[in-house]
């Protein structure tokens, strides 16, 4: 039986361990330096949320949930993350463009 070799790795730059999925602006809200991923199942059950209009308007590649119905969306957080100001500024500059997706992490 061969003996297992152990390695020790040191990350010398920022490291992102992703799930391979992307989060699109039709399912998150950016408020200051806080990103809220919205529980879409809960939001679709919200009586005050217009599902039909959401489905229709979200087909546009520049759609952003925060411009559509921020107040109802924030009632249904899936998770929230604090971001550094540089990252939130970069993401904010991409809102309303097709490049505003986020790589999901594990």
**Rounded-to-integer distance, Cα 93 and Cα 24, Å:** 15
Asked if 29 contacts 73 with a C-beta cutoff of 8 angstroms, the reply is yes
Residue 21: count of CB within 10 angstroms of its CB: 11
What pTM was computed for the model? 0.81
Query: How far is residue 59's CA from residue 33's CA, in Å, rounded to a whole number?
Result: 27
Confidence of residue 74 (pLDDT cuts 50, 70, 90): very high
pLDDT in tens, 44-72: 999 999 999 999 999 998 899 999 999 99
Structure tokens at 88: 């939130």
pLDDT digits (tens, 9 = 90+) for 6-41: 999 898 988 778 888 999 999 999 999 999 999 999
């Amino acid at each position: 039986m061969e003996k297992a070799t152990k390695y020790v790795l040191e990350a010398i730059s920022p490291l992102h361990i992703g799930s391979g999925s992307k989060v699109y602006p039709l399912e998150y809200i950016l408020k200051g330096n806080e990103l809220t991923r919205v529980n879409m199942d809960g939001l679709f059950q919200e009586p005050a949320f217009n599902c039909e209009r959401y489905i229709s308007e979200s087909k546009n590649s520049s759609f952003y949930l925060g411009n559509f119905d921020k107040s109802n969306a924030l009632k249904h957080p899936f998770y929230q993350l604090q971001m550094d100001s540089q990252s939130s500024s970069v993401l904010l500059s991409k809102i309303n463009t097709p490049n505003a997706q986020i790589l999901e992490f594990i």
